[in-house]
Structure 1
Amino acid sequence: MDRGQTQGERKRAEEESTEGASTSSLVSPKATGVGSGPYDVFLSFRGLDTRNTFTDHLYHSLIKAGTVPFCVFRDENNIPIGEKFDSEIFNAIVQSKISIPIISENYASSKWCLRELVHIMDRKKSASHIVLPIFYKVAPSDVRHLKGNFGNAFHSSRKHFDEKDIQEGQRALNEVSYLNGWESQKIADGHEGKLIERVVETVISKLREDFQLDVPEQLVGLDDRMKEIMNWIDNPSINARMIGIYGMGGIGKTTLAKCIYNQLSNKFVHVASFQMFEKLPGAMEV
């Protein structure tokens, strides 16, 4: 901190460094079977860059996806009075299945965004936490090496950070830069609507993995039957169709039905009602 800085300047700098970190915006009750905790998705973003634009569009697309609403945690500046900011945020990360850090130009200029990212990356190592980064108008290499406008934003703000925030923040930025995510300017020539569609599709797919049925890892003799049924299913038709699997006990009817279900589940909106057919001994209907 420069000695010549006035108290007002220091206060403004602190406010700027905390603005944009994520606080709770729970819009619907938790639906049984979706995600692994109170939240399905945690959005980490720099409010100055994307709060009213990309992040807002992504948030509303996520909560409207499918018939079972997703519970999404994002910044709305509504942490209850008396609650500690950091504990509220970090608990939300722990209780979420997926984190989506939206790495924008000024993301690393906020110590709170850096702390969120550190917690997200630590959570990824210690649990089955999914991290889907979006590099919003920045290159992963600039995030990794702290170069370009992204690096300039970080270096110009680091005087307001603790040494621990600097070291851990750099480590988290380096780690997230190597993850398989999306570069906004490389998706559909920068058309953000297409990018949001892809993100939502991926989130839906990841969350529905919770509905996958257990089947043996080593299966013998099911491939040909699977291909035959899937070819029939994939054949376009304007009419509803039914699949009946029958035969003597012990020949693998239930296992075949589970395999078909696992392969088809991501294509259906009403996954919960689709899953109930596992309870019918040796039978499955679609």
Structure 2
Amino acid sequence: MDRGQSQGKKKRAEEESTEGASTSSFISPEATGVGSGQYDVFLSFRGSDTRNTFTDHLYHSLIKAGTIPLCVFRDENSIPIGEEFGSEILDAIARSKISIPIISENYASSKWCLRELVHIMDCKKSASHIVLPIFYKVSPSDVRHLKGNFGNAFHSSREHFDEKDIQEGQQALNEVSHLIGWESQKIANGHEGKLIEHVVENVISKLREDFQLDVSKQLVGLDDRMKEIMNWIDNPSINARMIGIYGMGGIGKTTLAKCIYNQLSNKFVHVSFLPDVRETTKAPRYYVSAKSTNIGYTTEQKSSV
């Protein structure tokens, strides 16, 4: 092979390895939030595998979820040839609460995807960063041991990687393969719509944990009360519920109300906890309200002290 053919082959390989990582950022106007500079979700994916299909459907489902659109980072264009892996992408990962690496067949053939994954796993170790991997038409075992078509894609591209990318990339792939995530072919017999529903529900649930009320971890004597109340709430024959908690001061009414709120908040679209109402109104002191609309019916729950 002459020099010109060799250079042409190398250029094509570089184009294939850089296409589709999440570096050139495009943020939907719907997902910009209030300009806090924080992202709810960062999507890492191999563009040639999933850009216009699964990742696109997941992205639009995420930004439409909830009453306030989520701020989701994804790219719109592939990385230009010759462009260095910049700090912008690393900042976006660090400023995201949740990263979703979509590990597809050719994910590990891109050094840019591997660098994203390395930084994602580093953020998971050093901060309260949540990683929810999706193994898209690949098995975690193949990712872990670099086997099958996934392993072949990685090994066929190694000659274009730096030694650091190879070592750190393999470590990151091994770590992510041990995380609890989703295997696309095992969810609803491969129906991707159901998989996306599961992912969106889980993301919303994780984000709502930021709004949990502060309750001491060392609680004594509340378990039986909580169990009694939750059994009553879970009664399917009752659609509307109001819970009254009364008793002398200092026995834990406020703490119990907070525990109920934390237990139920992830199940509803709208929730609120209003403390010290007595100081401003004639109403009872604590009021917890949650409302959710499901198919065919509306459930409302209230508790007061």
TM-score normalised to structure 1 length: 0.89
Q: In the comparison of the two structures, how many residue pairs are matched?
A: 276
Moved more, 21-30 or 188-197: 21-30
Q: Which amino acid aligns with 1:135?
A: F
1:241 CA drift (Å): 3.4
State the distance in 1 between where 2:230 and 2:70 align: 30
Q: Which amino acid aligns with 1:201?
A: E
State the distance in 1 between where 2:34 and 2:204 align: 14
Q: Which amino acid aligns with 1:93?
A: I
Gap runs ≥5 in structure 1: none
Is the contact made by 1:21 and 1:44 (CA closer than 8 Å) also made in structure 2? Answer: yes
Gap runs ≥5 in structure 2: 279-284, 289-301
1:231 CA drift (Å): 2.4
1:74 aligns with 2:77: no
Is the contact made by 1:45 and 1:55 (CA closer than 8 Å) also made in structure 2? Answer: yes
Q: Do the aligned partners of residues 208 and 118 (structure 1) sit closer, same or farther apart at CA in structure 2, a change above 3 Å counting?
A: same
Structure having greater relative contact order (Cα 8 Å, sep ≥ 6): 1
Give the corresponding residue for 1:236.
Answer: 236
1:29 aligns with 2:32: yes
1:248 aligns with 2:248: yes
State the distance in 2 between where 1:165 and 1:142 align: 19
Give the corresponding residue for 2:296.
Answer: none
**Cα deviation 1:205-225 (Å, max 9, x = unaligned):** 111110111112122222232
Is the contact made by 2:215 and 2:258 (CA closer than 8 Å) also made in structure 1? Answer: yes
Give the corresponding residue for 1:145.
Answer: 145
1:168 CA drift (Å): 0.9
Moved more, 236-245 or 154-163: 236-245
1:284 aligns with 2:301: no
Give the corresponding residue for 2:110.
Answer: 110
TM-score normalised to structure 2 length: 0.83
Secondary structure in structure 2 of the residue aligned to 1:77: coil
Q: Which amino acid aligns with 2:123?
A: R
Q: Which amino acid aligns with 2:217?
A: E
Give the corresponding residue for 1:65.
Answer: 65
State the distance in 2 between where 1:222 and 1:238 align: 24
State the distance in 1 between where 2:88 and 2:220 align: 49
Give the corresponding residue for 1:260.
Answer: 260
Identity of aligned residues (%): 83
Moved more, 37-46 or 96-105: 37-46
Q: Which amino acid aligns with 2:50?
A: T
Is the contact made by 2:20 and 2:78 (CA closer than 8 Å) also made in structure 1? Answer: no
Q: Which amino acid aligns with 2:52?
A: N
Q: Which amino acid aligns with 2:119?
A: H
Give the corresponding residue for 2:298.
Answer: none
Q: Which amino acid aligns with 1:278?
A: P
Is the contact made by 1:90 and 1:119 (CA closer than 8 Å) also made in structure 2? Answer: yes
State the distance in 1 between where 2:251 and 2:141 align: 53
Q: Do the aligned partners of residues 203 and 31 (structure 1) sit closer, same or farther apart at CA in structure 2, a change above 3 Å counting?
A: farther
Give the corresponding residue for 2:177.
Answer: 177
Q: Which amino acid aligns with 1:262?
A: N
Give the corresponding residue for 2:282.
Answer: none
State the distance in 2 between where 1:3 and 1:126 align: 46
Which one has the largest radius of gyration? 2
